[in-house]
Structure 1
C-alpha cells in the first residue's frame, strides 16, 4: 500500500516543470519494484539504511544551497527522496503514517500549482488508498505491551498473499469502507462549497511556478517555430463566449507583434520592450476606452489559457474591460495592443473580457502616427533602431534587397498603390507561385537572406515563410509591416457550449500600415486562410467537436468553471439556487399534504360503506398473516421436512443449530448455549416450538 501511494504521488508530480524528471522516474521505478518484488527490497543489507539517512541529508542541503532563492523545486526533490527512502527502508507503524503524509504533500502541492483536472482523479484515488492503509495500521497495532509488529518480507509470495486476502475478505468491511469513502467525498465537497471566499487581491508568490514559453510564442520567432506547434493537437485555449454566432467568421486570436527582422528571425525590438511604448503595472482590471458607450452590451468572454503557452494573452480586438482574478503584474503595450504577464505560468490562466470585438484593423498609436505618416524614409541598418522605424527596416545583403526590388517592380511597377491594393497584389503573387506545406522546400543560398532564398527557389512553404515574404516585400516597397503570431480558427464543443482553440491552430500573419485609414490592416498571405482581399471578412464553416475526446475536454471546462474559478459570487448564486429549490419542494410538499388531509377528511366524513373498508381489511389481513407465519416458521419448516421425507441432515432445526454453532466458533465465543446447540445439531430430533428458547439464547450470546 505504501508503494502504491508512492507511485500515485510521483504520477501527480510529473505535471510539474521543476527540473525533477530524472528523480521522479527513478522514484516511480523504485516504488514499482518495491510493490512487485518486496523480497528483493527485504534483502538489502541493514548497513545501507544506516548510511542512507546522512547521504540524503547532504544531498538535500546541497540542492537547496545551489538553487537559492528558488525553493519549490528543491522542496519537491526533497520530498521525493524521502518517499523513496521510506518506501524501501524497513518501517514501523509510525513511519507508515509518515509515508501517507509525504505522499499527501506531493498530491496536494501538485494540485495547488497546476490546478489540473487530473488532481481530482488523483485525490480520489489517494483517499481510499490512504484510508485502507490506516485501517491496516489500526489492525496490526497490538498496543505497547504486545511489542512491535514485524513482517518477514523475505518469505513473501504474491500467490499466497492473494489467496489469504480472498479467504479473509468480508463484504461488510467493503460496504463500510465504501460508505466511509462516499461520506468523506461528500463532506469535503460540502466544506469546499461552504468555505468563505475572501478576496486577498494577491496570489501567494511561492505557489506560482514559471516555465518556458513555446518557441513560436516568445519574443523571438525563427522560421518554422510556429509551424512546429501545429503538430500538437492539444488544447491551448478554451473560451466561454456569449453566443456561438459571435465567432461565425474565422477568428484570429492575436497574441504577439514582432517588428524587427534579421536573418530569418522575427523578434520584438529593444525599443518596443521598454518605455515609453511599454508600461508596467499591477492591476486587477484594464480598461480600453475606444468603444462608444452605446455599443456597450456587458457581454463577458472568459478565457482559459493552458500553462506553458506564452506570457502574452490572446486579444483579438477592442474591448471595454479586461479583468483578472487577482492583482496581476502586467506589461501593457497600448500602441500595438499587446498584453503580457510577468512570466509564463505552468497552470491554466483565466481572465474575463467585456464586450470583446474581432478587429480587422488595429488603430495606430500616438507614438507611431507621426513617424509612419512621414513614410517613405530611408532607414539605415542599425541594431538600436527605434520603433516604429523597425517596421520598415531591411537588414540584409544588397543582393537580397535587389531580388525583392525586382519582384516588386514586376508586381506594381513604379506607380504607388494604397496599402489595400498592394496587399492584394502581393497575396495573389504568393498564392499563384507557392503552395502551403509544413515541409518547405527551396535552396538556401550562401550570403542571401533565408526568406529571399525561398522566394527565389522554393515552391512549398509554411505560414512564417508566407508572412515573412510579404513583410520583406512590403518594406522594400516602402510600406511599414510587422508579423503577428497567435491562433487562427477553432472549433465548438457541443456538449458544454464553448469555443476550443488547439495548438494546431497556431498561425502567423501580417499587419501592414494603411496611411489612408491610419490603422494597421490585417493581411493573411498564407493560402487556404482567407481571401486575397484583406478587407473581406472570411466566413468560415464552424467545426464541431463531438465524441469521446469532446466529452473528456468538457470535463476540463467544468473543472475550470465549477472548481478553479469558484468564488464568493458563485457561492451566493449556488445558495440562491438551493433556496429556490427548497422553497419549491416545500410548496409542493405542503400542497401534497393538504391534498392528503382533504382526502382523509372526506373519507372519514363519508357514510360507512363496506366497499371503502375492503382495501384496509386486506392490508390488515396480510399483516396478520405475515406475523403469524414468522412466529410459526420453524413448525412450518418441520412440517414440510416430514412431508417431503427429507434426510435428517436437512432438518431445519438441525441446520439452524449448525449456523449458530459456526457463528459462535468464528467469533470465538464460549457459552453454555454451545452444548445445547450441539445437542440439537447431533442429538434426537426436536420440534421447532421446543427449541425457541435455545435459539434465543444463542442470538443473545452473539450480540453480547
Structure 2
C-alpha cells in the first residue's frame, strides 16, 4: 500500500538543502564577527558594519545576486592588495593583520553563493577565528560561542557531505526569487527527524564530555607566553600606569560600571567598610605637564628587576607584612586591559599565579607590576594579607626618609631639575616658584598656625582646610591652563574638583610643610555579589589618594576627597552594614563569569591535583559503601533463609510476589494506554514519525514480510488466511488513517505468534 501524503514526513529537495547549507554558513560568519568584536584588531565600528551587512544578506539572500559582477571580480585583487599592505606596514606584529585578514575573507565569502570548497573554506575561517579569540581572551563569551558554533558547524559538514559532487552546484538569483521565510521554516519544521536530532545531541554531548576530560587532564600552559607572537598589544585601559595626568581617573567616574576586579576572601567580614585597592605609587610631580609619575630615582632605590615564575615571597621581615589585622587568603581576578599594575589591598607574604609570568616586584613600596598589561582576565592569589591603614617602611627607606622629614625641598631654590633628585627627596620636592610658591606657603601657614605639628595632626587640619575651600564635582569650571602647573592653578582659582585635585593639592601642601608624601592610584570601595560570595570592584570606583610619612617609620593613608573614608574616618571592620549587595540579573550573570574565572581561567595544577584526589576519594568511598551494603544485605538474606519457615513467612512471600506482578501489570497497562493516547493525538504532516503505534507496526511489518512470503510458498487455502489477514491489518496499522481505533495489541500479538510458528515449522 503506498504511503499517504498526509502521513509521510516532508522530504527537503536539493534546492532547499543547498539553501539550508548556505544559511548555516551565514550563521557561522555571524558568530565569528561576534567573536572578533571582543578584540581590538578591527575597529568596533567596522566590525559592526560587517555584522550588519552579513545579517542583511542572510535575511534577504536575493541581494547577493544583485551585486554587480565587476564588483565580485575586483574584490579579490583588492583584498590581496589590502592584506599585503597591512602585513607590510605592521612588520613583526603580524597577529593583528592576520586577524584582520581572516575577518575580511569571512566577509568576502559571506557575500557569495558558495561552492562546496568555499563552504569548507568559510568553516575553517570561522573556526580559526573562534580558536584564536579563545586562546587570546579565554572569556565566558568564547564558551557560549563555541557551544553555539559546534552544532551549527556539525550540521553544515553533514550537508556538505550529503550534497557531494553528484549534487554540486552554486545557487543563483533564480533560486531566491520566490523564497519565503515562513514557507522555508515550515518545511524545515515538518522535515525534522527527531531521532537524527537526538543522535546529534548525544554525539555533541560526547564531544563536550571528551573536551572537558582533555581540559582537566592537560598540563596548564598560557598560550600567549608559550607563543610570544600571540601576545595582544594591551594598554592600561583606565589610566593606571607609571604616569597619571589629570582627567585619567575622572573619565571613569562618569558611569563606567564595568567590573575591573573581582575578589574572593577567606574571611570577608574582616574587609574594611571602604577598602582601598592599591595599585601604583607615584612620587614625582612634574608641573610642566601636570602629571604624577613613578620617578627613575624610586625605581633605582627599589632595585626593581624583571623576574619570572609562579610565585613570589616577600623577603623582608614578616612582621612588616603581617602587622595588624590579616586575611589568610585572597583570590583576585583582574579584567583585561585595566593595568599592568596589580591591585593590592595591603602588604602580603606570598603572591601566587596559576601560570608562569614575568613581573617586577616593588617590595619596598608594595607595588607589583606585570611585564606587559594583559588583554585577558588575570588571576592571582595572596596569602597573609595585612589590612592596616598604615604601611611600615623598610628600615633602609625609613632611615633615608627621616633625613628629609620636616625639610621641604624647594626645587627653584636648589637649582637643577626635579628629574635630578634622588629618592626620597622626590617625596618632599616642591616644584613651584613665584606666586605659586607663595600661595602654598601661605596656605601651610594658615593650616599650621606656625606650630610644629605631628603628621597625624597636620593631615587632619589639611583635610579640613581643603574641604572648607573646595567641594567635590567632576567639573572645575576652569579653562585648562596651557602654561604649566594646572594643580596649583586649580588651587588658586577653582572651587570644585575631584579626587585627583584633592589628593594632588594635599601632596603639595604636605611637601611644602616638610612631610614626605606621594600619590597612590587604584580603586576605593567594593560591592558584594551574594550569588557566589565575592567582592566586585568596578571602573567607576577608580580613585586617587595620598600616603604621608609620619616620621616614625610608617606611611599613613590619607584620603582628602570629601565624603571619603580616611585615616580619621570610620574604618571599622565588617562589610555587611555599608558595602552594597548586588542583586538582579546583572549580578547573576556576573556570578556566572566568576565561576568561569574560577574553573577555567584560574584552573591550574593544584586544581588538577585536587580533582584527582577528590575523584579517588569518592571512588574508593563509593566502592566501599557499595561493598559493605551488599555484604550486609547478603548476610541478612542468609540469616532470613536459615531462621526457619512458617505459614506467616510463606504468606508474606506470596503477597510480595503478587504485589510485584500487580505493579508490573499496572505499569504495562499505563504504558499501553499512553501509546494509544499518543497515537490518537499524532496529527498532521509527519505524524508517522511521531506515532508510536505506527512505529511499532513498521518494525513488526519489516520482520513479517519475509515470513509471510515464505508462508505463501508453503501454505495455501485456509491455512494461509490468518497470514493474509494479519498482513493486511499490519498495513492498516502502519499506513491507515486511525490506527489507534483498532485493536492494535491483538494484531501485533497475532503477527508475532505466526512468525514463531513459521520458525518452528521451518526447523
Q: TM-score range by the shorter chain?
A: 0.7 to 0.9
Matched, 1:468 2:519: no
CA pair 628-250 structure 1, distance change in 2 beyond 3 A:
closer
* Equivalent residue in structure 2 for 1:302, among 331, 345, 368: 331
Give matches, 1:24-35, under 5 Å.
Answer: 24-35=47-58
Matched, 1:350 2:379: yes
The alignment's C-alpha RMSD in Å is 3.9
Q: CA deviation at 1:105?
A: 1.1
CA pair 447-202 structure 1, distance change in 2 beyond 3 A:
closer
* Equivalent residue in structure 1 for 2:620, among 583, 600, 613: 583
1:380 is matched with: 411
* Equivalent residue in structure 2 for 1:567, among 592, 596, 604: 604
2:561 is matched with: 526
1:504 is matched with: 540
1:255 is matched with: 279
2:11 is matched with: none
Relative contact order, CA 8 A, sep 6+: which one is greater?
Answer: 2
* Equivalent residue in structure 1 for 2:445, among 397, 403, 409: 409
Matched, 1:544 2:581: yes
Query: TM-score with structure 1 length normalisation?
Result: 0.84
Matched, 1:558 2:585: no
CA pair 627-86 structure 1, distance change in 2 beyond 3 A:
closer
Q: CA deviation at 1:232?
A: 1.4
2:658 is matched with: 618
* Equivalent residue in structure 2 for 1:283, among 301, 308, 329: 308
How far apart in 1 are the matches of 2:453 and 2:515? 10
CA pair 394-538 structure 1, distance change in 2 beyond 3 A:
farther
- Does the CA contact (< 8 Å) of 2:36 and 2:42 recur in 1? no
- Does the CA contact (< 8 Å) of 1:286 and 1:322 recur in 2? yes
Query: TM-score with structure 2 length normalisation?
Result: 0.78
How far apart in 1 are the matches of 2:380 and 2:142? 22
- Does the CA contact (< 8 Å) of 1:399 and 1:448 recur in 2? no
Please identify, of 21-30 and 562-571, the stretch whose mean Cα deviation from structure 2 is larger.
21-30
Matched, 1:166 2:189: yes
Give matches, 1:130-149, under 5 Å.
Answer: 130-141=153-164, 144=165, 146-149=166-169
Matched, 1:323 2:352: yes
- Does the CA contact (< 8 Å) of 2:270 and 2:327 recur in 1? no
CA pair 373-42 structure 1, distance change in 2 beyond 3 A:
same
Q: Deviations over 1:244-270 (max 9, x none)?
A: 133135321111122222157232254
Question: In structure 1, the residue corresponding to 2:91 is in which secondary structure?
Answer: coil
How far apart in 1 are the matches of 2:568 and 2:256? 30
How far apart in 1 are the matches of 2:461 and 2:340? 35
Question: In structure 2, the residue corresponding to 1:307 is in which secondary structure?
Answer: coil
Please identify, of 1-10 and 217-226, the stretch whose mean Cα deviation from structure 2 is larger.
217-226
CA pair 286-89 structure 1, distance change in 2 beyond 3 A:
same
Q: Deviations over 1:639-679 (max 9, x none)?
A: xxxxxxxxxxxxxxxx98999699999xxx9x989996399
* Equivalent residue in structure 1 for 2:728, among 677, 681, 685: 677
1:83 is matched with: 106
Give matches, 1:216-295, under 5 Å.
Answer: 216-230=239-253, 231-261=255-285, 262=287, 265-272=290-297, 274-284=299-309, 285-288=311-314, 289-292=316-319
2:467 is matched with: 431
CA pair 477-538 structure 1, distance change in 2 beyond 3 A:
farther
The answer for unaligned runs of 5 or more in structure 2 is 1-23, 677-691, 710-722, 737-741, 757-763
How far apart in 1 are the matches of 2:657 and 2:752? 34
1:651 is matched with: none
Give matches, 1:71-150, under 5 Å.
Answer: 71-141=94-164, 144=165, 146-150=166-170
How far apart in 2 are the matches of 1:687 and 1:147? 46
How far apart in 1 are the matches of 2:140 and 2:669? 57
How far apart in 1 are the matches of 2:668 and 2:605? 60
How far apart in 2 are the matches of 1:657 and 1:252? 71
How far apart in 2 are the matches of 1:674 and 1:57? 72
Aligned length: 666
2:14 is matched with: none
1:644 is matched with: none
Matched, 1:336 2:365: yes
The answer for unaligned runs of 5 or more in structure 1 is 638-654, 700-704
CA pair 623-405 structure 1, distance change in 2 beyond 3 A:
closer
How far apart in 2 are the matches of 1:530 and 1:691? 83
How far apart in 1 are the matches of 2:134 and 2:398? 45
Q: Deviations over 1:458-478 (max 9, x none)?
A: 333211111111111122222
1:210 is matched with: 233
- Does the CA contact (< 8 Å) of 1:242 and 1:299 recur in 2? yes
- Does the CA contact (< 8 Å) of 2:274 and 2:524 recur in 1? yes
CA pair 324-123 structure 1, distance change in 2 beyond 3 A:
same
- Does the CA contact (< 8 Å) of 1:114 and 1:348 recur in 2? yes
- Does the CA contact (< 8 Å) of 2:408 and 2:513 recur in 1? no
How far apart in 1 are the matches of 2:439 and 2:403? 27
